[in-house]
Structure 1
């Protein structure tokens, strides 16, 4: 439409005939988002005519009028319509349409206008304009007239019309953003001041009306594509909200904080004699002769480190207090039972419930990357690919309270399963962090919350430890590199030495060997061998039968000097192979038929090897002990799978002990600054001592 047609257009919009008005405003909605056209329209008095249509018309005429104003505001023009003494009447009319009008096309337009109105920043207005024209304050008088407004907006999140559903969610986002911004006037007010609590009241009201459940269901549905942008914005605003709660310091001078702490104490079912006489900060005061001394472990029995609980919320803030009080409120019986079970346990050995709750709060906080989102970032999603819903959307974030409770129950379970003590707190917390990562982190977008809660309660604790070891190894290998290789080599050498001592000890104790019938021409089927105390000779003798007491060295006349051994040949390592180990530590494989396990000890005579002694172990374990014991005595490497498995087991066990003594975050930090640097002795004299 040409700008020259605007006078005629305005004339038809002001006509007494509805058909004429409907056609005129229908054409207007397709041209009004052209800034040059809009400028002429406004300067010609068009806002007054458009306002009159919105206030008085109905049906399609009203729908087209609302759409026209929506498009005008989208190009950041026409804000004057909300100025002056009649502005509140217009806002109330639009709120009334949302409350009372069932037509979808009218509802969509009305909500879109309110999205713009609430989201219009005060910084865009001139100082001469009346404060409070925009934001939620602009809606407050109308909402007072129609108190069911917010409830009905949330109900529209269940609408089958996706555009209406999206508009409703955009309006909710605008309300939350306005509340969180703290712009209750031209000046920003801190959320920790008395006036700044408006944002928390608004959020609580929205939650009480079922907002979280409605958006959670939408986020798990198959209709995400049409709602992707407002849904992602809501998810980010949820993170900003959590961040805001955490930034609020717990202060016993504030009524709601003091009340929350008192509810924790009362829910713990304290002795009635200790209920009276507590002060505002949780300490006891004598109020008269009838007062009784307060429990000296009033707060520590709940799992706090001291009798000043407020100070222990420094990291988690009011978010941590909210999580703990919500858990206790929902699971009061279990909370009391847990405290009662631990009452007979020394204080330092009890499960610290309050500290565990705070740990789970921070684990979830870090898991969802709450600190990585701020209020300004929640606007910039227009360039993001919205097709990968599984990566973008985390509906479990909206179930924060139930996740916290399940995570805390998981903490209790891991604590008991590992028989943890107070000094093990950080290690249990690391296992719970891995539990959250495995269950919550790997849950699909559509996975039911009940399944997630069950998985948190049933996840195998030994499996958690295996995952912890794997993660620690990976992180250490990446960040510590050569340091870890060196540690592993040191531990392997220690394990090799340990296993050598064990194998040689078997030889020193002596063992019985049974000669096979085909090899028994002497009628003496049993052979006993034993290493001398100085480890220089292998003594042996043949017997008709095993004796009740093992023979001593003095009864074993035959002996082999270890320094005369040239090789040890055996078929212990594999059933179809004969492995020959020479003094040069070379390994030769010779195919042989499967036969009785034997160990042949050779010596070199005239350039050729001949057998000095043959042993027939009665078990694979005995064969492994003697074969590898002999090889290790000769300075050679063990070859049997059983011995090598034992070496790896001992080595890995040592590595696990060292890794378990390091927190997960330390693994990612790498060596501390200055590690390995030899201090300079510049400017030092010889007047020093070593502190041992």
Structure 2
């Protein structure tokens, strides 16, 4: 619409006919977001006519009028309509429409105007000479006093099927919360006047009691995420701001609400009559009574330590978690009073060093959740991340579980108690259990998808395997050490691998020195004689005993018809093999999990641990050169079998095959031996790491670590003291 048509437009807007006004304001809403058009419209007295339409029109005419004012405010113009003696009536009219009008198009425009009105109080461009209280929550407060159901109805619109209305309602709530915590609203003035401190927590609690958290949580998990992404991410950021502000509030027993909260925790613990009355065996006079006077009553010296505090001055122990920690502890005690009393009774039967400090555990879980959700990251990082994302990773930006803070705290606290019992922890192990809980939170909550229900998360926190949790802790610790000490640890691993290889080599050779029984297949039927020994051999399986000589140069063996109760001595073994003549050792030994697949691809039968009379599947064959001199000259020497052994199980086969190979200075090949080498090396590495301090993984090696000291100025005159 051209600026020259504005006088005619204003004339039609002032018409007595509703149809004319409706068509005029319909055209107005499509043109008023042009700043040059809006400037001429305002200077021509258009705001007065627009205000008149909002105050008296209805139906679509009213909806178009509200939309026109909303678009005018979007270009940061027309704010004068909310100043002057008639401004309060206009705000009250808009609030009234939200409370009483059921039409979606009217509700959308009305909420959009209130969003701009409340948000303008935080604008850096507003003039200092404007009327105090014209913007922010102050502007709404008189109208809300007339319509106290306003907040309830706004929150109800979060369940609307119209996504635009739902988004406007959430943006209005965001603006109200942001204004409440900014310190620029009337609530702070009232707080200072009454001397009760900050009033914003009461406002936030009022919204929460109306079902705000549940409604936004459902929206975050719904399919309407794309249409509501920006207001939802803003609400998520504001939730972090609120948590940060609660943590910054210092617990002060001079404040009645703090004193009442702490007293409520004590009374919920079901103290004995002496405890409740303040009498006991001890100690000092209890101060800070609500009357402000000292009481003559004495309290038990373990009044607060019984609840899990470290000292009898619990207020100072909230320094890290602030009032947020007190809120979480109070909420847990209030909602789980019976379980709280049972926990205290259970802990009271244990020695002091074995008791789980409930209050300290609660504060620890609060800080763990605070760090996990990165509540210190204020501002709109999540919203900026959404704007820069390509739409594929947006689900990771939404953290609906953040809105279930209280339930997560309770589940995390129960998980703390479970891990304390499972690990048999004592008082000095508190930080170690807290580390396990931190890993548990990262593993369960951190990997939970946007649509995962909080009930499932609670179950996972309570049922996660503690053994797996410990493995994750060791893996993370190892990664931390690798990051800081990588070069040094690489050298340590290499040294330990060599040591473990030498250790297992000696173990395998000692198995050969001890000697072992091997089964031997019976001779074929046509080779059996009629003599008694031949008939006896045909009825069973011959046995072979092999043993390495003490000087480790010869392998002695002999065959037996029966396996004797005691192993034969080296002198009774008539045959021997000179290890110096062995050219190679060949075997069909395979890992147990490879048996099934190799059965179909090889003619070798499957390994079995049945008695010796069964078919043989595993054998070790020792070869020698037919012509050793030709082989020494580099020729392809022909080999012939020298000795064949049939181990009766896979472990024995691994011991003898790798033992023979290591005697010949060759590398082991079986999976069992490699597993043992790795096992010994890993245990050695863990033992070496015990020499590191806990903070060494994070501070890195000290300056100059790993450098070889200079020998300049030294001679060879040194000695060792044994």
Q: Same fold (TM over 0.5)?
A: yes
Deviates most, 68-77 or 527-536? 527-536
Where do residues 215-226 of structure 1 align in structure 2 (5 Å cutoff)? Answer: 215-226=216-227
Secondary structure of 2:277's match?
A: coil
State how far apart, in whole Å, the 1-side matches of 2:504 and 2:271 are.
56
Evaluate the alpha carbon distance shift between residue 119 and residue 293 of structure 1 in structure 2; reply closer, same or farther with a 3 A threshold. closer
CA deviations 1:35-87 (Å, max 9, x no partner) are 22222222233323322332233223322222222122111111112212222
Shift of 1:205: 0.9
Secondary structure of 2:517's match?
A: strand
1:198 aligns with 2:219: no
Shift of 1:244: 1.9
Secondary structure of 1:569's match?
A: strand
Matched residue, 1:607: 628
- Aligned 8 A contact 1:403 1:453 in 2: yes
Secondary structure of 1:139's match?
A: helix
Secondary structure of 1:443's match?
A: coil
Matched residue, 1:334: 339
1:246 aligns with 2:247: yes
Secondary structure of 2:30's match?
A: helix
1:294 aligns with 2:300: yes
Where do residues 103-114 of structure 1 align in structure 2 (5 Å cutoff)? Answer: 103-114=103-114
Evaluate the alpha carbon distance shift between residue 181 and residue 666 of structure 1 in structure 2; reply closer, same or farther with a 3 A threshold. farther
Matched residue, 1:583: none
CA deviations 1:251-309 (Å, max 9, x no partner) are 33333333333333333333332233384579xx9944xx455143x334433344433
1:573 aligns with 2:589: yes
CA deviations 1:346-381 (Å, max 9, x no partner) are 322333333333333333323323222326986897
Shift of 1:613: 6.5
Evaluate the alpha carbon distance shift between residue 597 and residue 12 of structure 1 in structure 2; reply closer, same or farther with a 3 A threshold. closer
1:183 aligns with 2:193: no
Matched residue, 1:642: 672
Shift of 1:13: 3.3
Evaluate the alpha carbon distance shift between residue 604 and residue 28 of structure 1 in structure 2; reply closer, same or farther with a 3 A threshold. closer
Shift of 1:115: 0.5
State how far apart, in whole Å, the 2-side matches of 1:377 and 1:26 are.
37
Evaluate the alpha carbon distance shift between residue 575 and residue 215 of structure 1 in structure 2; reply closer, same or farther with a 3 A threshold. closer
State how far apart, in whole Å, the 1-side matches of 2:151 and 2:690 are.
52
Where do residues 291-370 of structure 1 align in structure 2 (5 Å cutoff)? Answer: 291=297, 293-296=299-302, 298-370=303-375
State how far apart, in whole Å, the 2-side matches of 1:678 and 1:479 are.
16
State how far apart, in whole Å, the 2-side matches of 1:534 and 1:340 are.
68
Q: CA RMSD in A?
A: 4.1
1:651 aligns with 2:656: no
1:406 aligns with 2:411: yes
Deviates most, 158-167 or 267-276? 267-276
Matched residue, 1:33: 33
State how far apart, in whole Å, the 2-side matches of 1:455 and 1:657 are.
33
Shift of 1:134: 1.1
Give structure 1 stretches of 5+ with no counterpart.
577-590, 685-692
TM-score scaled by structure 2?
Answer: 0.80
State how far apart, in whole Å, the 1-side matches of 2:254 and 2:551 are.
79
State how far apart, in whole Å, the 2-side matches of 1:147 and 1:473 are.
58
Count of aligned positions: 662
Deviates most, 599-608 or 57-66? 599-608
TM-score scaled by structure 1?
Answer: 0.83
Secondary structure of 1:275's match?
A: helix
Matched residue, 2:130: 129
- Aligned 8 A contact 1:513 1:526 in 2: yes
CA deviations 1:624-681 (Å, max 9, x no partner) are 22333344455443222221122223333445667799899975x5734626265999
Give structure 2 stretches of 5+ with no counterpart.
279-284, 593-601, 606-615, 630-638, 714-722
Shift of 1:109: 1.5
1:622 aligns with 2:663: no
Deviates most, 379-388 or 628-637? 379-388
- Aligned 8 A contact 1:434 1:468 in 2: yes
Matched residue, 1:154: 155
Where do residues 588-607 of structure 1 align in structure 2 (5 Å cutoff)? Answer: 597-599=618-620, 607=628
Evaluate the alpha carbon distance shift between residue 545 and residue 42 of structure 1 in structure 2; reply closer, same or farther with a 3 A threshold. same
